[in-house]
Amino acid sequence: MFSEIDVRNFIAAHADGAHVLDVREPHEYEAGHVPGAQLVPLSTVPAAAGDLPLGQPIYVICQSGNRSRVAAAHLARSGHDARSVIGGTSGWIGAGRPVVRGLRANLA
Greatest Cα pair distance, the chain, in angstroms, is 33
**Which DSSP category does 87 fall into?**
T
- Alpha carbon 104 to its chain's center: 15
Distances (CA, A) of 89 to 1, 59, 62, 98: 22, 12, 6, 10
Other CB atoms closer than 10 Å to residue 34's CB: what's the count?
Answer: 26
- Kindly name the residue from 62, 76, 85, 86 that is annotated as catalytic: 62
User: Please, are residues 37 and 21 in contact by the beta-carbon 8 Å criterion?
Assistant: yes
Q: Is 62 a catalytic residue?
A: yes
- Catalytically annotated residues: 62
